Amino acid sequence: MTDNLLQFIKDEKDIAKYKISLLKKGKDKSYKHRLISIERGFVEYPFEKISFETLDELKEAISLFKTDRTLFEKKFTKHSFKKTRLVSKNQRKVINQKIRFYNNLYKYLLDFEIKEVDLSLQSSDHSSSESANMAKRRARVQILIYCLSRFIYHKIKRIEASLDLESLSFQEYDLTRKALDDFFAGFKDKLFKHYNDGIIQTPLLIRETAGHNSFVPTIYPLVNLISKYPKDYRLERMLDKRRAFFIGKAPIKKRSVERGLGLITPMNRVGNEAINLLYLDLWTDNGISINQIMEKQFFNANMGEAYCKAVSTKPVWFFNKYIDNKFMLREVCSLLELKNTALIDKIDFDDQLILDKINNISSGSISICSESSKMYVAATRSESKYIRESLNWIDLLIKQIKNDYKSLFDPTALSKKKREDRKSRVKKLKR
């Protein structure tokens, strides 16, 4: 394939990544999952391995890929590149069963688990009536179960929408299998996205059931720092300008240097040591998500006269690992004060001139869109403590879910007797 066709594919995939970032903004809608899955499938598909002869042929292939996958496969890929492994009927069946497990799971959490929370065994108070304090503790767990169900729902629907089981390539099968087997990796980064909505929706789910809890509406909603402290938020240099990120071509692997770029909040450290960053979703003024390059926890940044809560980026020398489209690259290059970004596909950390420019960043920044971005924290220090305690329940719940999943899809992991015992507990998740 000619260089101009390869460049066209790359440009189209960059545009697709930008579309995905825009579709992820705002409210979750079912049609967004379908559109995102189409664009994500296009980005991941190895078009570069197909021997296109003309630009018109390539354009037709891309159009068919997004509108009629079966016809695309028949017309363009039958003899274009060799599949090294085939996906068996049984492998497709197992993938379908795993998807069904998670579809049943998010329903089970809302239909049963949220109504069956019992904290009495963890309390020294064995009185028959539930105290207000205990009811509030139970309410937070119920809200987090709602959040967990939403997390599972949105993740499994994204996976489901991106699949065509009948024409599943082995590469797609392998990626899907890994996503399903490691389903809860990093779940806490997204768990609290629906917390405030959970305060509203949970009472509707548990009303007039054994799990009824009139204290759910009394739980404090999470606070969005960006709304609470209005200002022009920017991603910028936090490392002392007298210090460097690199010595020669070697990164300086010290904590202060690794945290050398980030966003500083107006929240002072004093009195807020126990406040955790529960959910982060940052968008630039140009509509680009930069979550991939961001860490997901606070640290205390020394601002001279005081310490403030801040969130850093990943270490700058790892940026290429997380930047996956031209639009994000352009934003990052403005932060690093690198010019001519339209001419580069990635940051060349072997180029001493570029490293020197990064060492000398002075005014480079990325403007953050305050309307679209979120930085959720608990409303008070005590509430932050209570939320951390409630997370212990969710950790135990997920541990049980993982064990149930393993017992169903990895029969060698348990003895026959233990498998039978486990199956009795998970029958509500089985079709």
Split the chain (431 residues) into runs of 10 and give each run's mean pLDDT: 84 88 77 83 83 86 86 71 63 93 97 90 58 94 98 94 79 88 94 97 95 96 95 95 95 95 87 81 94 94 84 96 90 90 78 94 95 95 94 96 92 56 59 52
Buried b (16+ CB within 10 A) or exposed e, 326-360: bbbbbbbbbbbebeebeeeeebebeeeebbeebee
Cα–Cα distances in Å, from 332 out to 252, 346, 358, 402?
Answer: 20, 10, 11, 38
Give pLDDT, residue 84: 44
- Tens digits of per-residue pLDDT, 367-414? 999 999 999 999 998 999 999 999 999 999 999 999 999 999 876 655
Provide the number of structural domains found in the chain. Answer: 3
Between CA 114 and CA 133 the distance in angstroms is 18
Say yes or no: 245 and 178 in one domain: no
Instruction: Please give the model's pTM, rounded to 2 decimal places.
Output: 0.79
Does one domain contain both 115 and 202?
A: yes
Give the tens place of pLDDT for each residue, 36-67: 888 888 888 888 878 788 888 889 889 988 88
Residue 325 falls within a domain, yes or no?
Answer: yes
Please, which residues bridge with residue 283 across strands?
Answer: 289
Structural domain includes residue 82: no
pLDDT for position 137: 95
Are 114 and 42 contained in the same domain? no
Distance between alpha carbon 33 and the CA centroid of its chain, in Å?
A: 14
Q: Do 256 and 368 belong together in one domain?
A: yes
Same domain? For 303 and 350 the reply is yes
For residue 230, the tally of other CB atoms under 10 A from its CB is 9
pLDDT at 113: 96
Residue with tokens 């996956």: 324
Q: Quick check: is 255 in a domain?
A: yes
Q: Do 95 and 175 fall within a single domain? A: yes
14 found inside a domain: yes
Same domain, 249 and 322: yes
